[in-house]
Structure 1
Amino acid sequence: MKEDSIKISTLLITYNEINHIDEVIENITFSDEIIVVDSFSTDGTYEKLKSYNNVTTIQRAFKNFADQRNFAINQATNDWILFIDADERLTNSLKKEIFNEISSDSKKVAYMFKRLYFFKKKRIRFSGFQTDTTYRLFKKGHVKYDENKIVHEMPIIDGKSKILKSNMLHYCFNNAAHYKSKMEHYANLKALELSKKGKKPNIFHFYFRPFYKFFINYVVRLGFLDGKEGFYICYLSAYGVYYRYKALDKLIS
């Protein structure tokens, strides 16, 4: 366990996560502080969060992921910040490794987690996700998200970082329709990011880029070995690329 003097603030940003919220809150009860920034959920998520005595819930309009995460960071009061999404879970081995790391004399100020992906309850071993890592643990005052990257947000780390050995579980696909809606949401944000950079789509973006995305994930990165779920994931990832440039075309026309 971590030393009593070292405290963790666990942060979430949510929108319509009623299917995950009970399990994720239960998963992080070890935290000294739990703060959730909710983007005015309409499915009962906010009401469920308010029923927890150990959770501070703030409603705030969603601008983009980087902006929302930076706001959440500013609410934290403890030495260490742990970010978790509603569809993610920490394994017991990862929790132990977190405590061991932050209780040591290490000079690291940020840690990356390896994620294992699931389609419903089926493990997705390929399809482009076999090497996924993400920053989730930071020392207070050493991180800020780059607000020029409004989707697939990237933290700016002031100091050294490390990849932990244990895995985080990511239940990010409820079904194909759910994943499609996520791809469209991310694509709209990415289109806005590209428009601010003055980018313009062309026939290459509409046809070659989606095909290349599918080919890489389904063939080169062995998505076909994930069965029908692998096909859905690789196809919808390619669809997300196509949708991105269609959205960009609408923004600039």
Structure 2
Amino acid sequence: MDLTTITPLILTYNEEPNIDRTLSKLTWAKEVIIIDSFSTDKTLEIVKNYENVTVFQRTFDSHSNQWNYGLNQINSEWILSMDADYIINEQLLAEINHLAQNSLVDGYFIPFKYCVFGKPLNQTILPPRQCLFRKNKAIYIDDGHTQLLKNDGKISQIKSYIYHDDRKSLSRWLWAQDRYMILEVEKILKTPVNQLSLGDKIRKKIILAPFIVFFYCLILKGGILDGWHGWYYAFQRMFAEILLSLRLIEAKYFNQE
């Protein structure tokens, strides 16, 4: 696949700790599109250092609307959708470059290596994401706190990793998780039980999910072998599930009032 047919698309809001590392790995792209939600830190100052970047600003209302607005700003055949803490490496670029140009495939799932303070963990619970896709086949829809890409074409898998390396502060992470879990609670409570995933069915029980996630990350996924980086990740994921449980209890209590 010709890399010049691919436009990276990034959403930003106060990504000063991350955006420079991300953009430094995208200098191969003819154009990078950023949809910024009116950042108040130095994100846009950093972005100005990259001549291949075009910035559009839009007030954030939902992830799907923000991503779909970004899709409409792109003219290339292929899109590489990225968070502002994704790091593209040479191995991934080489694999993409060797994909068949005229393939019938319309989208590719790419796996992740999650990093804690810059150290890649051996295994995590972060699933592959359909990051590379043909523009004319795709649209984003909301799914809890995040979004899903709906692609009507044929989907395949890439073996090489994207590094997920978020360097924002713990305070910012806590702020974001609370916003995410409010949306996750709304999704879980509004979705019929028979349509929930196994994970969301367990979460709806409130008590078990935090302990299951902690054990899964630390033992079954081998986080303990990553030292304190693995413990940190396990505690992060457990805390997120505890926050979700608290929000579920809160929603249940207020619904009884």
Using the size of structure 1 for normalisation, the TM-score is 0.84
Q: CA deviation at 1:41?
A: 1.4
- Measured in 1, the distance between the counterparts of 2:176 and 2:203 equals 24
The answer as to whether partners of 2:37 and 2:57 remain within 8 angstroms in 1 is yes
The answer as to whether partners of 2:114 and 2:124 remain within 8 angstroms in 1 is no
Q: Does 1:123 align with 2:120?
A: yes
The answer as to whether partners of 1:7 and 1:80 remain within 8 angstroms in 2 is yes
Query: Where does 1:10-89 land on structure 2 (aligned, <5 Å)?
Result: 10-50=8-48, 52-89=50-87
Cα distance per residue 1:5-28 (max 9 Å; x no partner): x62221000111112212222211
Q: CA deviation at 1:176?
A: 5.2
Picking from 157, 163, 183, the partner of 1:169 is: 163
Q: CA deviation at 1:178?
A: 5.2
Q: How many residues align?
A: 246
The unaligned stretches of length 5 or more in structure 1 are none
Cα distance per residue 1:107-155 (max 9 Å; x no partner): 00001112112111222113435xx4211111111111222x1434221
Deviates more, 1:233-242 or 1:177-186: 177-186
The unaligned stretches of length 5 or more in structure 2 are 194-200
Output the amino acid matched with 2:211: F
Using the size of structure 2 for normalisation, the TM-score is 0.83
Cα distance per residue 1:214-244 (max 9 Å; x no partner): 1222222222222222122112212211212
- The CA RMSD measured in Å over matched residues stands at 2.8
- Measured in 2, the distance between the counterparts of 1:106 and 1:202 equals 40
Output the amino acid matched with 1:138: F
Residue of structure 2 equivalent to 1:213:
213
- Measured in 1, the distance between the counterparts of 2:40 and 2:248 equals 28
Output the amino acid matched with 2:101: S
- Measured in 1, the distance between the counterparts of 2:44 and 2:166 equals 20
